[in-house]
Structure 1
Amino acid sequence: MAEKTSYVMSAPPKSSWKGWLWDSADVSKEERRFLLKLDFTLLTFGTLGMLIKWIDTSNITNAFVSGMKEDLNLYGNQYNYIVVAWTVGYIIGQWPSNFILTRVRAHSAKTYPQMLALRFVVGLFEAGYWPALYYILGSWYNKRELGKRNGILQSAVSIAPIFSGFLQAGIYNGLNGHAGLAGWRWLFVINGIISLPIAILAFFFLPDTPGTAKPNWLFSEREIEIARKRMSVAGRVAEGKPYTVKSILGYLTSWKTILFTLVFTMQPFGSQPATSFVFWLKAHNKKGKPAVYSVAQINEYPTLGNAFTAVYSLAAVWISDGPLRGRRWPTIIFGNLVAIVIFVLLVVTPVFGPFSHRAPLYILSSIGGSAVPLTMAWMSELISDNAEQRAFTAASMNTLQYTFSAWIPLVWFQQVQQPNVTAGNRAAAVVAGLNVIVFTIITVLAHREKLQKKRNGELPAASTSSNSSTPSIDDGNEKNISSVVVEDVAPVLKR
């Protein structure tokens, strides 16, 4: 017979300024140790994997403006088609490759068709990584913790192009022509080399979800017990419900799945104006005339936009988790309102005006996209009671986003028109306005649902506490008069 174990859940701690900076400062020593281990494994290696994934995604643009266009004779909209090839592979592989991350080096491409095929394969095997990581984070962290972790994970998406830009600039200056390879080809070679050790380590350090995890060298039985109790208090239900036609139809008719998928479907409009920056810089260089911007400058200047997005996104999630006490909508809607202004200014500002007039607009144009980590956190929290719907919604959001990413550049942001894409910038402003409307609807519906659950007594304890955190877990040496002893958890651990 399994031996009984017990642990003590103390009353919810009061938020301190240290807890606003990093939430584990307000919990017990045992839970703090658990969160430290979880952050070191899941957050660290998940973020490193995300960084490598998006460096690869960014490399194609940096390579294009650094010699690939001329070497492979990529003219017309062939750049767009290469991006679409990756996107199609990504869409097809979204479900079957949900937990696979593989890198296929593209340095052997000699022709345009070969590049298309290789980018398709890369997209196919990268498909499951992004939605899987967000789903796993939503299965381990509570509301007070999730926004910051999602923000750190998503920051890799903004930081990756910075690495890619400076990496391409350095490679072009130091390795261009070395061993008979052009500088842009070395970019893919080096990306493949640094990907392999991170992929191997991530395989061993990324944990399963609390509902499926078993004690191992990484997490002990007691730590898994702590994780499951934390999620129970947060109202997060573990996996276990079967996928049926009825359940999937239920997901497809749920306002949560529909509205969150809708806002992600429109996401590509908000990210495209920033991609014009690199083409805008390159367009200043006219054939037969001295270059206005060097290859290094063309690769490096756009990283200012990525740096801004990373910093602003992290500030937004910290404000949401801290002073806003878990409210997601204020920073999300604010970012989209600012995006509307930026896109309108891109429409009315002369395309080839002074650097100081247009470059700042490109740099700030991704502010709407900074809502991604908070949107994913919000979705996870609103669908806490159904793990299968949460996973389905995360994959649907990502799949529809990339489905639209496949054709939006071909219609609104064609390479042959860059950087003269006024119609695309105008469309981005309209879509940002629609985002504000959809997020407002989500806010209203979520508030109504919360009031209904409160009347029915269905809210978990964490949702009614002042700081929206789970109760801390005592290490057994501390006593609390408001604590609750939870016993007979061994049978649960054996599920």
Structure 2
Amino acid sequence: MKEALNMGGSELTYMDNVFTAGYVIGQIPAVILVTRVRPSLFIPTCELLWTVCTFCCSAVKTVEQLYAMRFLVGLFESAYFPCIVYLIGSWYTTSERAKRTTIFYSTTSLATMFSGYLQAGAYDGLNGHLGYAGWQWLFIICGVIGLPCALIGFVCNPDFPEMTRAFFLTPEEFQLARRRLEREGLAALGASTWDRWKILRIARHWQTWVLPIGYFIVQAACPNQQPTFELWLKAEGYSVYEINVLPTAQSAVAVVAQIAAGMLSDSPLFKRRRWQIITAMQLWTFIGSVILLVWTILLSARFFAYFVLWVAYGVPGVYFAWFPDLMRDDHEMRGFVIAVSNMFCYIMMIWFDDAVWRTAESPRFRPGFTAAATCSIVLVLWILGIRYLKGREEAKRAITASSSDEEDVTEVDLRTQEISKLEAEK
């Protein structure tokens, strides 16, 4: 692609930056629009437009055209992740939510496993076929995969429980879904609808500020900003085949960790609490980072460290599964904070990667693993802080509810006394 489009200097970096700009800009409007336009229409439409722009990327002739297409690809992609996480959290109860969120999150790890094989196969087998270069075929294949996914979404996306018309659910099941969430104490969609002052009201809550910072720490504590394992294998003289294949085992570890984290977090063993499982998962990142900081260790220990680092991939899904429990009173706020968390993380990781994960530090990446180990400790403390804030908020809510009950009882007593006086007078 570099040769075909005469790319030079920092133009590849600029291409990534315009994608990030589109991705960041679109997220807050997406989580607002998805409460006004049915998710079964809004999300698949964005996927369909993403597919069209991806196809167009294969036909660009200039760098400027590629910039425009990459911005649009990022813009239309921005709706998918926050809206789907928001949607999952709007259907499931506390004992079900983490499993579903981590299964969804695990698809990223699965995609990482197979994308390398797909890219190698497309380039080796299709380069020059029908007059298209290998990089063009990659965009075409991505579009071919995305098109049926978008079309299926128009039919299978269930919308929110409050507006669902899913063909695979009966009216009785519609009502059951809503009652289940009411029993959980979760506010319904539209109970605090969007208006011109909504964002200002949301900004008064601690969740709006604490949770996005927490998500950045989650990602900063997960050392995936550089292909550290691949670069070490290359420095050690492993074959190209081994460099391509061995790292896929890291993705396998991530998938197992993600699903296990979701199941354990939802289970009675952890009483559907999120902070314990996040702490347990993050411990392995700390251990792996410390081992690699020591560096002069047995070969088996180094392999163990590179693989165990990816256990931390179980954390993000559980973290997002915690959001509805932390924001029970405001449905729309949950979607907004999900989007802000993802946006904030994307923006912060730009400077964080350049600061501590410099390629010049390869293959040891001492600053990077030091930062990962440090952020692991900070994350555990941050999670405990969130738990404290949640407990304090629930205590205030209980006191308010108790005071309200006492006022109701007092009012009944006064009315009873008045009735008794009137009867005595008669």
Whole-angstrom distance in 1 between the partners of 2:326 and 2:166? 31
Q: Deviations over 1:288-332 (max 9, x none)?
A: xxx8422x5443332211111110111111111112121111110
Counterpart position of 1:398: 342
Counterpart position of 2:417: none
1:321 corresponds to 2:266 = yes
Overall identity of the aligned pairs, in %: 32
TM-score in terms of structure 1 length = 0.69
Among 188, 191, 211, which residue is 1:238 paired with?
188
Shift of 1:157: 1.3
The 1:301–1:186 alpha-carbon spacing in structure 2 relative to 1, beyond 3 Å, is farther
Q: Deviations over 1:146-187 (max 9, x none)?
A: 111111111111111112122223334433443344444433
Counterpart position of 2:405: none
Matching of residues 14-413 of structure 1 within 5 Å: 80-98=13-31, 99=43, 100-101=46-47, 102-103=50-51, 104-105=53-54, 106-108=57-59, 115-213=66-164, 215=165, 217-240=167-190, 241-244=192-195, 246-273=197-224, 275-277=226-228, 279-280=230-231, 283-284=234-235, 292-294=238-240, 296-322=241-267, 323-349=269-295, 356=300, 358-413=302-357
Contact map agreement 1:85 1:116 (CA 8 A) in 2: yes
The 1:423–1:181 alpha-carbon spacing in structure 2 relative to 1, beyond 3 Å, is farther
Bigger Rg, structure 1 or 2: 2
Contact map agreement 1:97 1:125 (CA 8 A) in 2: no
Contact map agreement 1:135 1:390 (CA 8 A) in 2: yes
Contact map agreement 2:229 2:306 (CA 8 A) in 1: no
The 1:79–1:304 alpha-carbon spacing in structure 2 relative to 1, beyond 3 Å, is farther
Among 361, 378, 387, which residue is 1:443 paired with?
387
Shift of 1:418: 4.5
The 1:97–1:442 alpha-carbon spacing in structure 2 relative to 1, beyond 3 Å, is closer
* Structure with the higher fraction of residues in helix conformation: 2
TM-score in terms of structure 2 length = 0.79
The 1:356–1:111 alpha-carbon spacing in structure 2 relative to 1, beyond 3 Å, is farther
Q: Deviations over 1:321-355 (max 9, x none)?
A: 112121111110122222122223333326xx986
Shift of 1:394: 1.0
Contact map agreement 1:273 1:425 (CA 8 A) in 2: no
- Aligned pairs, number: 382
Contact map agreement 2:20 2:74 (CA 8 A) in 1: yes
More moved, 183-192 vs 408-417: 408-417
The 1:304–1:259 alpha-carbon spacing in structure 2 relative to 1, beyond 3 Å, is same
Shift of 1:122: 1.5
Counterpart position of 2:36: none
Counterpart position of 1:493: none
The 1:386–1:427 alpha-carbon spacing in structure 2 relative to 1, beyond 3 Å, is same
Instruction: Give the RMSD, CA atoms, in angstroms.
Output: 3.0
Whole-angstrom distance in 1 between the partners of 2:9 and 2:335? 39
Q: Deviations over 1:175-216 (max 9, x none)?
A: 344334444443332121111011111122112212233x46
Whole-angstrom distance in 1 between the partners of 2:5 and 2:248? 25
Contact map agreement 1:109 1:115 (CA 8 A) in 2: yes
- Counterpart AA for 1:442: I
More moved, 273-282 vs 430-439: 273-282
Contact map agreement 2:189 2:332 (CA 8 A) in 1: yes
Q: Which has the higher contact order (CA 8 A, sep 6+)?
A: 1
Counterpart position of 1:15: none
Q: Which stretches in structure 2 are left out of the alignment for 5+ residues? A: 32-42, 403-426
Whole-angstrom distance in 2 between the partners of 1:216 and 1:341? 46
Whole-angstrom distance in 1 between the partners of 2:243 and 2:61? 24
Contact map agreement 2:287 2:305 (CA 8 A) in 1: no
Whole-angstrom distance in 2 between the partners of 1:231 and 1:418? 49
The 1:115–1:423 alpha-carbon spacing in structure 2 relative to 1, beyond 3 Å, is farther
Q: Secondary structure at the match of 2:271?
A: coil
